[in-house]
């Protein structure tokens, strides 16, 4: 019996025994495929360091495929773009490998998910403009590998009697009858995205 396959079968048995009645493992439909990967991996017999690296690359590649992400950088070549205006002017082009990448009429290319804001108190994530910073960021150059930066924000009550809050007036919105605004907790976290990308 293959060592990795045997290991997987043993672990699978333990997992199945720990299930509540009528529950099913999420990996159950893929058990045979995982066994096949284990057999191939064992035949390659990589050394300890290479085994860890190879396993990581396989896992990341599989995750990318299953979540419709790309495996290699975008090239920005003509064959990667679809004209959303269908030859009408003005045209906006969407990348056909990553649907969150767009080319604007002025030729600038943007990634819609450059920043995802994380509301730390309400445990939700969203895109858009917070404190004047847009989630959509300009791609510096091709080849380009999309990268999302997660920035923590906090939801605050608006207090009209505090002039200092005027800097957030464009971010304010109504929620449950209250005026609220999001505030970036640590603006130092913006160094990553604003180095990798340009602001629009």
112-158 tens-digit pLDDT: 999 999 999 989 999 999 988 999 999 999 999 999 999 999 988 87
* 84 lies in some domain: no
pLDDT for 35-46, tens place per residue? 999 999 988 877
* 53 lies in some domain: yes
- Which percentage of the chain shows pLDDT scores above 70? 91
* 79 lies in some domain: no
pLDDT for 152-187, tens place per residue? 999 888 765 455 566 666 777 787 888 888 999 999
Residue ending a domain, among 36, 66, 96, is 66
How many other β-carbons are positioned within 10 Å of the β-carbon of residue 74? 20
Q: Residue 47's pLDDT is what?
A: 80
Task: Taking residues 2-8, report their average pLDDT.
Answer: 87
**Domain, as residue range, for 157:** 110-199
CA atoms of 52 and 42, how far apart (whole Å): 13
Q: Is there a single domain that holds both residue 116 and residue 188?
A: yes
According to DSSP, residue 67 is labeled T
**Cβ 45 vs Cβ 39: under 8 Å:** no
* 142 lies in some domain: yes
* 81 lies in some domain: no
What is the domain count for the chain?
2
Residue ending a domain, among 46, 66, 86, is 66
Q: Residue 160's pLDDT is what?
A: 54
CA atoms of 116 and 135, how far apart (whole Å): 6
* 168 lies in some domain: yes
Average model confidence (pLDDT) for the chain? 89
CA atoms of 30 and 194, how far apart (whole Å): 40
Residue ending a domain, among 66, 85, 120, is 66
**Cβ 138 vs Cβ 198: under 8 Å:** yes
Give me 55's structure tokens.
């396993």
* 25 lies in some domain: yes
Q: Is there a single domain that holds both residue 192 and residue 127?
A: yes
Q: Residue 1's pLDDT is what?
A: 46
> Which residues are within 8 A (CB) of 169 and not within 5 positions of it... i.e. 6 or more apart?
none
What is the pLDDT confidence band of residue 90, given thresholds at 50, 70 and 90?
A: low
* 88 lies in some domain: no
Q: Which pTM was predicted?
A: 0.79
């Amino acid at each position: 019996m293959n060592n990795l396959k045997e290991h997987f079968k043993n672990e699978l048995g333990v997992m199945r025994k720990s299930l509540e009645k009528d529950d099913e493992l999420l990996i159950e439909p893929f058990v045979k495929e995982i066994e096949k990967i284990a057999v191939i991996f064992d035949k390659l017999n990589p050394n300890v360091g290479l085994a860890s690296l190879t396993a990581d690359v396989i896992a990341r590649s599989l995750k990318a495929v299953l979540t419709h992400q790309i495996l290699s950088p975008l090239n920005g070549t003509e064959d990667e773009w679809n004209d959303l205006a269908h030859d009408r002017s003005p045209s906006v082009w969407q990348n056909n490998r990553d649907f969150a990448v767009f080319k604007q009429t002025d030729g600038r290319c943007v990634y819609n998910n450059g920043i995802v804001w994380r509301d730390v108190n309400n445990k939700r994530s969203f895109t858009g403009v917070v404190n004047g910073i847009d989630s959509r960021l300009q791609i510096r150059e091709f080849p380009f590998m999309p990268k999302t930066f997660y920035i923590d924000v906090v939801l605050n009550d608006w207090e009209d009697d505090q002039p200092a809050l005027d800097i957030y007036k464009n971010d304010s919105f109504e929620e449950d009858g209250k005026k609220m605004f999001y505030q970036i907790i640590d603006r130092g976290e913006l160094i990553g995205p604003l180095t990798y990308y340009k602001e629009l």
